Amino acid sequence: MKNAQPHTIYLKDYQAPDYLIDRTELLFDLKPNATLVTSRLLVRRNPDAVKDDEAGLPALWLDGIDLELLSIAVDGALLPAQRFREEAGGLSLTVDKPEFLLEIQTRIAPESNTSLEGLYLSNGMYCTQCEAEGFRKITFYPDRPDVMSVFTTTIVAPATYPVLLSNGNKVDSGTTEDGRLRVTWEDPFAKPSYLFALVAGDLQYVEDTFTTCSGRNVKLQLFTEARNIGKCAHAMTSLKRSMRWDEEVYGREYDLDIFMIVAVDHFNMGAMENKGLNIFNSACVLASPETATDTAFQRIEAIVAHEYFHNWSGNRVTCRDWFQLSLKEGFTVFRDAEFSADMNSRAVKRIEDVTLLRTAQFAEDAGPMSHPVRPDSYMEISNFYTLTIYEKGAEVVRMIHTILGAEAFRRGSDLYFERHDGCAVTCEDFVVAMEDANNADLKQFRRWYDQAGTPVLDVQDEYDAENATYTLTFHQHTPATPGQEEKLPLHIPVAVGLLGANGDALALDESDSKEKVFHLTEATQSFTLHGINERPLPSLLRGFSAPVKLRFDYSNTQLLFLMQHDTDAFNRWDACQRLALRTLEQLQTQYRAGDVLESPTALIDGFSAVLGHTELDPALVAKMLTLPSAQEMAEQGSEIDAEAIVAAREFVRSTIAGALKSRFLTRYHALDERKAYQPTAEDIAQRSLKNTCLAYLCNTGDEDALTLAQAQFERGENMTDVSAALAALVEYGAEGVAEERLASFYQQWQHDTQVVESWFGMQSSSASFGSLGRVRQLLSHPAFELKNPNKVRAVIGGFAMRNFKQFHREDGSGYEFLADQVIALDGLNPQIASRLVTPLTRWKKYRAREAEQIQGALKRIADSGELSPDLYEVVSKSLT
């Protein structure tokens, strides 16, 4: 059974399923190259299907890919050959009964499944990934989320696989006559096939319990290979915090008696919310102070929460079809972001999320794969697990929260869960629940779901001293995107505050409020505030209240003032970013003109003031001192000149490093306390500023600074400090020194997969160290595996997505290299190939020379033979 030819699927063609599956019983007899899968399905005609009574009962369509069909029986009798037909992508059956028991036996080969979709092997352990359409690689089935069924799963495996897991509760176990192990799991909650999971291996686990708000005890288990058993504590703590938070903030209680997490090394994404049996990429769940950085600790907390929250926003209430993916993903990302904000620094979490949005989602919105939060068509759904669906989708939910207010939002989510529990629903159902619970009108707001592209918001202000009025005029405009020429005005909530000349927040109305949300609904709209007794400085789009590009003509002095005085921490940071971006842009212009680069004095003043601000959260200070990435700079301008971007950024960094060296040093020493590692917000903040200072210090290239890094590296207190020191030495130290430190680090950590992955990434993303030659060497390093997505992302992704300087070398060799890797990967793992090609997709935005080179690399991929549907969609859309 082969894949179907790539073709476009449209939301408008959605039809309810012809048949439902009330019960699904699966039997797995596990063998690496010949696993037998027997399914018993209780099939029933869907009363809600679109009916054509003349034609009799329709054929039953079952999806299936890479399956060897062994037998089909209906109500106990073998189905004659003329009653079924194997087609591309599945199986069509003519049964002519409204209800029947269907039994199918298939054979699959997990060992040769390198796509990491369906059932596969990772380090000798069996695991599954079914979302979105992986279940069809396990058995013939209506593999669509609106077919929900109660699953019972029996697994039979040799005794070398003592742990056999699936969804729900373990109801039976024993030994077969020939001494193999047999376990049966039953999941009482009806679920779509994409939430099915199976794990079999020689695993250890840590266990804990959680008492729910109604007093039920839930067993929590985290499974991993024996060598990683010491890295489970943080994920377990995060899980318990998530469970409590969802009860407190959303009133959601866990529903089964057991919740399991399994760590696997080979995984395409971060993790998967399979009912009662979450499967995680090892890098997103395993951590210890010695091996994981603060960033990893926080990522783990967020992803554990994300997957747990899916139990309600995703599993209990699921998606009707994959066009509705953001229904569960956007909502769940919003939920996990609020959780992380509550557990850590709210402002810093917001800054990180907005940075990702501005860097990568805005770029996606402006590129060939641009699509709305609810797309209306796709070729390969795996390509739509995007920043737009996840991150912009979360922004859309956040805006509903802002527009309605926290209490009303909670009433809406309560109604949504109550009304749709056990159902497969749409984004529209979510919005309607929000409206119905609050008598609200979100009619115009709905456009956020079907309009692609990033809106641009131009703002002007006018102060009338005589009448003490202050007027803000907004003009919104969304640029055209592929397939969407005309855009309508959106409902944009804009949170605003005003600052007086002494830095105080001004009262905006009689009730003395210091912040207001303006509801922009027209293309051009003005809002006037009264009783404003001095010309104010506006703080606009506070907390990034809408995912737009806001343009207001601030002077440098005004930005410096906002950096010092804005009460909105996010906007304080944003003022700093605006100043940095503007400075970097001017320097790019000077560079292109061949002029002498001007010292960035305003920025230096700003940074100096920020560094001296000892009451500010050090994590916020670290964020303010971090220049926009090259990727973000590229997103800002109209045409990308990679060389100018790199030159401007390097110049600003080293100038600041030199000018503020003694300030960085003072702050570094003040923050450099010896204490036991804890991943608390406070300690993480302290380390982040300390290491930001260290990087600037090393950027001077001065021996004393590098000695400091060397000492921090040697102290080896925790991985956050060790890897920050190593990264600084690699980036700014002499080549020989870098090589030697990298080698000794590898020597020490070669047994640890997660550390080796970051060791790879550190080298290939280093502007000074990660040349193409070095990256090629890494590909032939014994620890590199093309079949392991984490290693591919570290080495190839690190180079193509995080090493702007080397990837964009003027000879175009970076592009050719990426094309070669994408072609090689497509045969192994189409999802990874199609993601990795992203840096090539935006060729039209580059200067002519690069554009031509990148386009050439894309064409070479297109002509390299038969592409997977995944890669075909991205490459063909990029070339049109």
Residues belonging to the active site: 307
- Binds ligand ARG (CB under 6 A): choice among 271, 584, 624, 698: 271
Report the candidate in 445, 476, 472 with the shortest Cα–Cα distance to residue 373.
Answer: 445
Of 106, 115, 129, 758, the one binding ligand ARG (CB under 6 A) is 129
> Can you list the pairs that 657-663 forms with residues at least 24 positions away whose Cβ atoms lie under 8 Å?
657/696, 657/697, 657/699, 657/700, 658/700, 659/599, 659/604, 659/608, 660/604, 660/607, 660/608, 660/611, 660/696, 661/696, 661/697, 661/700, 661/702, 661/705, 663/608, 663/611, 663/612
The token duo for 407 is: 């209490």
Residue of 97, 184, 191 whose CA lies nearest to 141: 191
User: What minimum distance in Å lies between the beta carbon of 721 and ligand ARG?
Assistant: 31
Does position 132 interact with ligand ARG (CB under 6 A)? The reply is yes
DSSP 674: -
The stretch near ligand ARG (CB under 6 A) out of 78-86, 125-133, 156-164, 794-802 is: 125-133
Q: Which stretch binds ligand ARG (CB under 6 A): 60-68, 128-136, 702-710, 847-855?
A: 128-136
Q: Kindly state the smallest distance separating residue 133's Cβ from ligand ARG, in Å.
A: 9
Pairing mode, strands 377-378 and 9-10: antiparallel
Q: Measured from the CB of residue 131, what is the shortest distance to ligand ARG in angstroms? A: 4
Scanning residues 825 to 864, which ones bind ligand ARG (CB under 6 A)? 831
CB atoms within 10 A of CB 47: 9
Nearer to ligand ARG, 275 or 487 (CB): 275
Say if residues 575 and 538 touch (Cβ distance below 8 Å).
no
> What's the rounded Cα separation, in Å, for the pair 529 and 461?
11
Binder of residue 132, out of ligand ARG, Zn ion, none (CB less than 5 to 8 A by kind): ligand ARG
CB of 295 to Zn ion, least distance (A): 20
Stretch that binds Zn ion, among 66-74, 328-336, 361-369, 533-541 (CB under 5 A): 328-336
Q: Of the ranges 264-272, 348-356, 487-495, 834-842, which one interacts with ligand ARG (CB under 6 A)?
A: 264-272
Binding to ligand ARG by residue 380, rule CB under 6 A? no
Structure tokens at 169: 């509760």
| Integer Cα distance of 362 and 388 in angstroms | 9
Helix (H, G, I), strand (E, B) or coil at 291: coil
Residue 871 beta carbon to ligand ARG: minimum distance, rounded to whole angstroms: 15
Q: Which amino acid is at 508?
A: L
User: Is the separation of the CB atoms in 230 and 202 below 8 Å?
Assistant: no
490 binds ligand ARG (CB under 6 A): no
What the block records as the tokens of 618 is 């050090």
347 binds, among Zn ion, ligand ARG, none (CB under 5 to 8 A by kind): none
Spell out, one character per residue from 272 to 301, where the chain touches ligand ARG: x when CB under 6 A holds, - when not.
Answer: xx----------------------------
Size of the site for ligand ARG (CB under 6 A): 14
Q: Which is nearer to ligand ARG, 268 or 699 (CB)?
A: 268
Residue 271 CB, nearest distance to ligand ARG (Å)? Answer: 6
Region 314-333 residues binding ligand ARG, contact defined as CB under 6 A: 329
Min dist. Cβ of residue 10 to ligand ARG (A): 20
Q: What are the strands of the beta sheet with 271-272, ordered from one edge?
A: 204-211, 217-224, 258-264, 277-281, 271-272
Stretch 332-361: interaction string toward Zn ion, x if CB under 5 A:
x-----------------------------
Residue 679 identity (one-letter amino acid): P
**Separation CA 745–CA 292 (nearest Å):** 14
CB of 327 to ligand ARG, least distance (A): 12
Q: Is 373 exposed, middle or buried (0-12, 13-18, 19+ CB in 10 A)?
A: buried
Residue type, 366: A
Establish how many alpha carbons lie within 13 A of residue 823's alpha carbon, considering only the half-sphere containing its beta carbon: 16
Please report, as residue ranges, which positions from 230 to 259 form the binding site for ligand ARG (by CB under 6 A).
Answer: none
Residue type, 307: E
234 contact choice in ligand ARG, Zn ion, none (CB below 5 to 8 Å, kind-dependent): none
CB-nearer residue toward ligand ARG: 385 or 668: 385
Give the one entry of ligand ARG, Zn ion, none that residue 757 binds, where binding means its C-beta sits below a cut-off of 5 to 8 angstroms depending on kind.
none
The stretch near ligand ARG (CB under 6 A) out of 265-273, 339-347, 416-424, 805-813 is 265-273
The residues of the shown chain that bind ligand ARG, judged by CB under 6 A, are 129, 131-132, 268-269, 271-273, 306-307, 329, 382, 385, 831
The residues of the shown chain that bind Zn ion, judged by CB under 5 A, are 329, 332
